[in-house]
Amino acid sequence: MTNPTPPSRTTAFIEQVERYAAHNYHPLPVVLSHGEGAWVTDVEGRRYLDCLAGYSALNFGHGHPRLVARAQEQLHRLTLTSRAFHNDQLGPFAEALAGLTRTEMVLPMNTGAEAVETAIKVSRKWGYRVKGVPEDAATVVVMEGNFHGRTTTIVSFSDDKVARDDYGPYTPGFRSVPYGDADALRAAVDDTTVAVLLEPIQGEGGVVIPPEGFLRDVRGICDDAGALMVADEIQSGLGRTGRTFACDHEDVAPDVYVLGKALGGGLYPVSAIAADAAVLGVITPGSHGSTFGGNPLAAAIGHEVVTMLEEGEVQRHAASLGDHLAERLRPLVTDPEADRGLRAVRVRGLWAGLDVVAAGPSGRELCERLMARGVLAKDTHGSTVRLAPPLVATRDDIDLLVDTLEDALAAED
């Protein structure tokens, strides 16, 4: 009797995950084991250009030498104290991040969703303590198509049925308006509005860029209403769009920056909100916190990230490569009724959303074709593929990406 062929390493790892881990993701069938710069290697030894970059958490690539060295140095010294005690890393990190955001204070947390929750809590408390909104009457205006995380409060104002359904009862206090519609926003704001929460570019929505001037309109509406402008720059910030923050493209400064992902350099979960003391001053001992928030390891890594961004080369490189990416992608846009190509392309810095034509492959199918050809990307909403290579990618990497995309779009498989 012939012995059955043993499963490949890829199959074995995937079966193990399917057996023992909850099915809250639907990943592509690739098992990665190594990464360096913009490239990753799977357990079979195949190499891929990483064009997702951990949803922008890996802006500086896999294993950036400066970040790894700083993390290793801190690992040998001190990793955790909790905020019950001071440590020698939090102060320098907080000062540097406040400088980068041109604000006065920061409040460190761990994950992006925690940072968004923190911004909501601070906005509400500010509304009651400073603006004078009646108790339990505060409202926050949000945008349709938003993605800010998946906590119970955050999914309460999501219009993504998969993320929202079956998690009620939902948290009240939110009003949703169409993204990019300043008139609708103006109509939704009233005396109870404590904040307008938005992504300057909607990443999970498919790299959706608002109309020119919308961010300035939001700033003006918030000023007129005496409400906080809260910018979720978790994906769009820290160099991704060719500027330090996506809000910088309209020279707009929000009252509250919400940061995460790349703030940890792809090594460790680090998030924060940044604002002036008039806003963050409402936080008092015991009113908000986290065991790991502001720990020495996180602060050391985050400080090095900020230092790299202060030098400006990351942003300049992202802007230059983004211009090249946009130039290469534009010819792929075809008639929406065609059976090949793209019906729309949106690019801001080294970040792109590609809408496939209806007659062509779905977003998932296109990502599978790209994977088979050595490029890793992620679909969203069925018909859109997002491209977000690490900001350390080269011009040759971008050419390989677009050449591979052209081949995948033309394929019959």
Residues recognised as catalytic? 147, 232, 261
CA-nearest of 259, 242, 235 to 103 is 259
CA 206 to chain centre: 12
**CA separation for the pair 179, 242 (Å, rounded):** 22
Amino acid identity for residue 189 in this structure: V
CA-nearest of 45, 24, 23, 25 to 34 is 45
CA distances from residue 78 to 51, 155, 269 in whole angstroms, order as listed? 34, 36, 17
Angle at 362 between CA 156 and CA 323, to 5 degrees: 85
CA 162 to chain centre: 19
**CA separation for the pair 400, 375 (Å, rounded):** 9
